Amino acid sequence: MPSYNIKHTTRYTYASEVIDCVNQIMLYPIEDDRLEVVHHDIAISHDSSVTPDTPINIYTDYFGNKVGVFSVLQPHTVLVIESSKDVVTHPIQFPMDEQSAEEQWQHLQSLHHDPEFIDFLCEECSSSQDMRATLEQLVNRSEKPLKNALVLSEYVYDNFHYQQGVTNIETPAEEIWQMKAGVCQDFAHILLAMIRMVGIPARYVSGYVCPQKEGVRGSGATHAWVEAYIPFYGWLGLDPTNNCIVNDGHVRMAIGRNFPDCTPVKGTYKGTGSHRLDVSVHIESGEPEIQAELPQEPNYTYEVKDPTPPINSYRRYQEMQMQMQQQ
């Protein structure tokens, strides 16, 4: 059974002091028959002060995710959240897929008014005629839903270019579809949209992909994939970034309708809007190398500048009047 040590560091650096910082974290691995959490610790620090006693209030959200909330009220210019976890993963049981394709599609049709699945059937690209035309060519309803879901995952893998920096967390699925490029969350959003259009419930998953071999996309950072509901089996993970069925090399942190439901860290504060976000993820297989020095360079960096203040039209009018009087 594979075991992993995962260290996930989130660092916010503000241009000037901020106060009343309230944060929500979704950094807790989802424990089930596929994942055992041996140890998990979250440390919070700000500026040069480590505050291990910062209370974190934990609750379970609508989708069953473990969510933490904490506050830093005093002035600070740096906030660091370090999540360290040791986990053991177990291989999944693959679907037996014994029922006929017709039975399975009929079962999916019966879920469209089931409250448990309605959220995961809402179409995110309902206006994309181009996507619908592509689905008409790819989907074969004489085949079983699982076979079709795998075809769609392979299509995303083959036709979208894995490229960092061309999208952000707010890029809509329609724009990603047109660019045919992005990172793991973009690949997941496109597959999510396609599977839902076909009538298969699908949900977004955030977590980590652990490098069991070379060439795995998304290792060394937070990762995203899709879970499709397979009739008479349940939820099965599909990773379109790596064109594989999710097994014991993936660790789930959160599930939801889309990325906003699964954001690892988000919050609000009072102060300057100009800040920098650095995220690094370090994953080791087996026992952690305690003496080894972890890489200092972040895997992901995002900078936000203060927006240009809007022009006050009345003040501008007064300035123009004064200029005219002086002429």
Q: For the residues 177-194, what does the mean pLDDT come to?
A: 94
What is the band of 195 on the pLDDT scale with cuts at 50, 70, 90? very high
Quick check: 182 pLDDT over 70? yes
Range of the domain at 125: 101-247
Q: For the residues 314-318, what does the mean pLDDT come to?
A: 63
Quick check: 132 pLDDT over 70? yes
Quote the pLDDT of residue 71. Answer: 94
- pTM here is 0.86
Q: For the residues 190-218, what does the mean pLDDT come to?
A: 87
Q: Is residue 254 part of a domain?
A: no
Quote the pLDDT of residue 311. Answer: 56
In terms of domains, do 108 and 160 share one? yes
Contact 268, 221 (CB under 8 A): no
Contact 266, 24 (CB under 8 A): yes
Quick check: 213 pLDDT over 70? no
Q: For the residues 265-279, what does the mean pLDDT come to?
A: 91
Tally of structural domains, the chain = 2
Quote the pLDDT of residue 218. Answer: 59
Tell me the H-state helices in the chain: 101-109, 115-118, 129-138, 145-159, 173-179, 184-198, 313-326
**What 8-state DSSP symbol labels residue 266?**
E
In terms of domains, do 133 and 198 share one? yes
Q: For the residues 269-293, what does the mean pLDDT come to?
A: 78
What is the band of 172 on the pLDDT scale with cuts at 50, 70, 90? confident
Q: What is the pLDDT of residues 238-271, one digit of tens each?
A: 999 999 999 999 999 999 999 999 999 999 999 9
Query: What is the DSSP track for 127-183?
Result: T-HHHHHHHHHH--TTS-HHHHHHHHHHHHHHHSEE-TTS--TT--HHHHHHHTEE-
In terms of domains, do 63 and 108 share one? no
In terms of domains, do 81 and 116 share one? no
Quick check: 156 pLDDT over 50? yes
Query: What CATH code is carried by the domain that includes residue 293?
Result: 2.60.40.2250
Beta bridge partners of 59: 67
Token duo for residue 311: 């022009």
Quote the pLDDT of residue 291. Answer: 41
Quote the pLDDT of residue 295. Answer: 46
Q: For the residues 125-142, what does the mean pLDDT come to?
A: 88
Considering only residues 316 and 115, tell me which one the structure prediction assigns the higher pLDDT: 115
In terms of domains, do 141 and 238 share one? yes
Quote the pLDDT of residue 314. Answer: 62
Contact 43, 52 (CB under 8 A): yes
Quote the pLDDT of residue 292. Answer: 45
Considering only residues 125 and 141, tell me which one the structure prediction assigns the higher pLDDT: 141
In terms of domains, do 241 and 137 share one? yes
Contact 1, 82 (CB under 8 A): no
What is the band of 184 on the pLDDT scale with cuts at 50, 70, 90? very high
Q: What is the pLDDT of residues 14-73, one digit of tens each?
A: 999 999 999 999 999 999 999 999 999 999 998 855 555 689 999 999 999 999 999 999
In terms of domains, do 119 and 217 share one? yes
Mean pLDDT of the chain: 87
Measured in whole angstroms, the distance separating CA 101 from the mean position of its chain's CA atoms is: 32
In terms of domains, do 285 and 158 share one? no
What is the band of 128 on the pLDDT scale with cuts at 50, 70, 90? confident
In terms of domains, do 274 and 180 share one? no
Considering only residues 209 and 47, tell me which one the structure prediction assigns the higher pLDDT: 209
Q: Is residue 164 part of a domain?
A: yes
Write the burial class of residue 67 (CB in 10 Å: 0-12 exposed, 13-18 middle, 19+ buried). middle
Query: What is the DSSP track for 236-250?
Result: EEEETTTTEE--TTE
In terms of domains, do 181 and 113 share one? yes
